[in-house]
C-alpha cells in the first residue's frame, strides 16, 4: 500500500502519549494528528499504543540461529531469515547484527571461537539485496581484543560494509564480566572439558596472551573503527578506571557495565549506559553483576538491549515505563535513545518525514505487552 492510516490510537510522542492518528505514505510518516482520522479506509487501532519500531543494538540471537546446538552449523541463509522474522515479530524494526571478530587458538583444545564474521556479513547483505529481509539490518562487530586473529579479521572490512557499531570486548578471567574467575571456570570446564590443572594452565595462557597482544590489538581496532566510521562501545566496564579508558578511546555506549560505580562514571563522562532487558525482567544479572532495575532507580540506565531474548526488548521497556510511571520514557530506551547514540536521524521517533517504522501494541493488566502490528518502512511485517 502506498498509504496507511492508523487511527484511534495512543501515539508515543517524545515525552508524552496523546490520542490521535498517524499517516504513512510511501514508506515515510507523512502526518500525525490528534483525535481520530475521520477518513474512510483508516485502520482502527482500538486505543492501542503506537510507538516507533524498536531498535536493537546488541543481540546474540543470530548466533543462536546459526548454531542451534553445540557443533551444529545451520545453513546461514535460512538462519538469517529466521532471525529476521523473529525480530520483526517482537516489534524490532532495526537491528545491529552482532558478529564476533577475533579467534583464539589453544593447543589441543576447541575454544569455541570461529572465523565466521566476514562470510556471515556477506550472507546478510545478500539476503537483504534479494529483498528477503523484513527489517533494517546494520553490522555490529564485537572485537575480542586479546585474540590472535583480530586485526587480520578486521582488515577484511571496509567502509562499504556499513559497519555502524564496534564493541571492544575482553573476556579474560579475573576482570570485567569474569572478575570472579569461578564464573568463568564453570562455563569453560563444561565447554572445553578441562580438569582443574588444565583449567589453571588455560587461565595463565589467556593472561599471558592478553599482556602480549591486547595493547597493539586495541590500537589497531580503534584505527579500523575510525576508518569504518563506526560508533565505539565498551563492554562490561567494572571500575571507574575502565570507564575513563573507554572515554579516552572515544566510546559512546557502555554495554552492560557490571557495577553501579561504573554506571555512575559513564554518566560523568557522557557515555550512554545500555543494560540487558533479560536482567531487568529476571530481577538481576545471571552473572551476579549489578541489577538493571537498580540502575534504572538511580537514573543511570539509558538504553535497553534484548541481549539473548528478542521478546525481552519491548517487555523490558514496558517494565521501565511502569517503574518510572512514564511509559513514554520507558519506550524511549528502545527507540529514541539507541537511535540518538548511533546517529540514526531517520528513525526512533514518530515524526513527519521519518521512516514508517511503527509498532502497535497494548499492555495487559499484568504488564505484558501484546503486539498487534509491526510496520517497517511502511510495510507490515508482523
pLDDT digits (tens, 9 = 90+) for 330-362: 999 999 999 999 999 999 999 999 999 999 999
How far is the C-alpha of 61 from the C-alpha of 43, rounded, in Å?
Answer: 32
Show the cell assigned to 162: 556499513
Share of the chain above pLDDT 90, in %: 81
How far is the C-alpha of 173 from the C-alpha of 378, rounded, in Å?
Answer: 46
Would the pLDDT of 231 be above 60?
yes
Question: Computed from CA positions of residues 35, 37, 38, 44, in that sequence, does the dihedral angle turn out positive or negative?
Answer: negative
Strands 369-376 and 358-363: antiparallel
Helix (H, G, I), strand (E, B) or coil at 20: strand
How far is the C-alpha of 220 from the C-alpha of 66, rounded, in Å?
Answer: 29
The arithmetic mean of pLDDT across residues 247-263, rounded, is 97
Show the cell assigned to 274: 545500555
Would the pLDDT of 1 be above 90?
no
How far is the C-alpha of 83 from the C-alpha of 289, rounded, in Å?
Answer: 28
More confident: 158 or 108: 158
- Residue 31, CA atoms < 13 Å, CB-side half-sphere: 12
Per-residue pLDDT at 139: 96
Per-residue pLDDT at 114: 82
Would the pLDDT of 29 be above 90?
yes
Show the cell assigned to 1: 500500500
DSSP structure string for 70-93: TT----HHHHHHHHHHHHHHTTEE
Question: Computed from CA positions of residues 18, 24, 30, 36, in that sequence, does the dihedral angle turn out positive or negative?
Answer: negative
Rounded to 10 degrees, what is the CA torsion of 375, 166, 321, 50? -10
Looking at domain 54-346, its CATH class is: alpha beta
Per-residue pLDDT at 171: 84
54: CB partners within 8 A, 6+ apart: 90, 91, 92, 93, 94, 313, 314, 317, 334, 335, 359
How far is the C-alpha of 228 from the C-alpha of 283, rounded, in Å?
Answer: 37
Would the pLDDT of 296 be above 90?
yes
More confident: 284 or 142: 142
pLDDT digits (tens, 9 = 90+) for 43-101: 999 999 999 999 999 999 999 999 888 778 899 999 999 999 999 999 999 999 999 99
pLDDT digits (tens, 9 = 90+) for 257-283: 999 999 999 999 999 999 999 999 999
128: CB partners within 8 A, 6+ apart: 137
Question: In the chain, what are the domain boundaries?
Answer: 54-346
Strands 303-305 and 92-101: unpaired
Per-residue pLDDT at 251: 98
> Distances from the Cα of 34 to the Cαs of 8, 21, 52, 295, 358, in angstroms?
9, 6, 17, 35, 17
Per-residue pLDDT at 199: 83
Per-residue pLDDT at 342: 97
Q: What confidence tier does 182 reach under pLDDT thresholds 50, 70, 90?
A: confident
The arithmetic mean of pLDDT across residues 361-369, rounded, is 96
Q: State the DSSP H helix or E strand holding residue 124, giving kind and residue range, or none if neither.
A: helix 117-129
Phi and psi at residue 81, to the nearest 5°? -65, -40
Average pLDDT, the chain: 93
Would the pLDDT of 324 be above 70?
yes
Would the pLDDT of 179 be above 90?
no
Contact 82, 366 (CB under 8 A): no
Q: Which of 111-115, 135-139, 230-234 has the lowest mean pLDDT?
A: 111-115
> Distances from the Cα of 312 to the Cαs of 72, 92, 146, 276, 295, in angstroms?
25, 11, 31, 9, 17
Per-residue pLDDT at 178: 73
Would the pLDDT of 158 be above 70?
yes
The separation between CA 145 and the C-alpha centre of its own chain, rounded to angstroms, equals 19
Closest by Cα among 225, 220, 262, 223 to 242: 262
Per-residue pLDDT at 306: 97
Q: What confidence tier does 37 reach under pLDDT thresholds 50, 70, 90?
A: confident
Per-residue pLDDT at 71: 79
Size of the chain in residues: 382
Strands 49-52 and 358-363: antiparallel
Per-residue pLDDT at 173: 79
pLDDT digits (tens, 9 = 90+) for 194-207: 788 888 888 888 99
Share of the chain above pLDDT 70, in %: 98
Single pTM value for the model: 0.94
Q: Which residues, listed in sequence order, are joined to residue 50 by a DSSP beta bridge?
A: 11, 360
pLDDT digits (tens, 9 = 90+) for 108-118: 777 667 889 99
How far is the C-alpha of 276 from the C-alpha of 297, rounded, in Å?
Answer: 15
Amino acid at each position: 500500500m502506498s498509504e496507511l492510516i492508523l487511527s484511534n490510537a495512543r501515539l508515543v510522542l517524545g515525552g508524552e502519549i496523546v490520542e490521535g492518528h498517524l499517516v504513512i505514505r510511501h514508506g515515510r510518516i507523512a502526518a500525525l494528528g490528534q483525535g481520530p482520522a475521520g477518513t474512510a479506509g483508516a485502520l482502527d487501532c482500538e486505543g492501542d499504543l503506537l510507538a516507533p519500531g524498536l531498535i536493537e543494538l546488541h543481540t546474540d540471537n543470530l548466533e543462536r540461529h546459526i548454531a542451534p546446538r553445540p557443533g551444529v552449523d545451520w545453513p546461514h541463509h535460512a538462519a538469517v531469515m529466521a532471525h529476521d522474522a523473529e525480530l520483526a515479530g517482537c516489534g524490532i524494526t532495526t537491528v545491529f547484527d552482532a558478529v564476533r571478530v577475533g579467534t583464539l587458538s589453544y593447543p589441543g583444545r576447541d575454544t569455541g571461537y570461529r572465523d565466521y564474521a566476514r562470510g556471515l556479513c556477506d550472507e546478510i547483505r545478500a539476503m537483504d539485496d534479494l529483498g528477503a529481509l523484513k527489517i533494517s539490518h546494520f553490522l555490529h562487530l564485537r572485537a575480542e581484543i586479546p585474540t590472535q586473529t583480530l586485526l587480520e579479521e578486521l582488515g577484511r572490512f571496509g567502509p562499504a560494509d556499513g559497519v555502524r557499531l564496534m564493541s571492544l570486548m575482553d573476556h579474560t578471567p579475573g576482570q570485567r564480566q569474569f572478575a570472579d574467575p569461578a564464573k568463568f571456570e564453570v562455563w569453560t570446564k563444561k565447554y572445553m572439558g578441562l580438569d582443574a590443572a588444565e583449567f589453571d594452565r588455560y587461565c595463565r595462557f589467556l593472561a599471558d596472551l592478553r599482556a602480549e597482544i591486547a595493547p597493539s590489538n586495541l590500537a589497531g581496532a580503534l584505527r579500523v573503527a575510525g576508518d569504518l566510521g563506526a560508533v565505539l562501545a565498551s563492554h562490561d566496564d567494572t571500575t571507574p578506571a575502565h570507564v575513563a579508558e573507554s572515554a579516552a578511546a572515544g566510546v559512546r555506549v557502555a554495554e552492560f557495565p557490571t557495577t553501579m560505580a561504573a554506571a555512575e562514571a559513564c554518566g560523568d563522562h557522557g557515555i550512554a549506559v545500555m543494560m540487558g532487558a533479560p536482567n531487568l525482567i529476571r530481577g538481576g544479572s545471571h552473572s551476579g553483576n549489578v541489577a538493571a532495575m537498580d540502575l534504572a532507580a538511580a537514573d543511570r540506565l539509558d538504553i535497553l538491549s534484548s541481549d539473548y531474548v528478542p521478546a525481552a526488548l519491548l517487555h523490558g521497556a514496558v517494565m521501565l515505563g511502569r517503574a518510572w510511571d512514564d511509559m513514554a520514557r520507558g519506550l524511549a530506551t528502545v527507540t529514541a535513545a539507541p537511535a540518538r547514540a548511533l546517529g540514526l536521524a531517520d528513525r526512533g521517533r514518530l515524526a513527519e518525514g521519518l521512516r514508517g517504522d511503527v509498532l502497535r501494541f497494548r499492555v495487559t493488566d499484568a504488564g505484558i505487552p501484546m503486539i498487534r502490528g509491526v510496520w517497517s518502512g511502511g510495510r507490515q511485517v508482523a
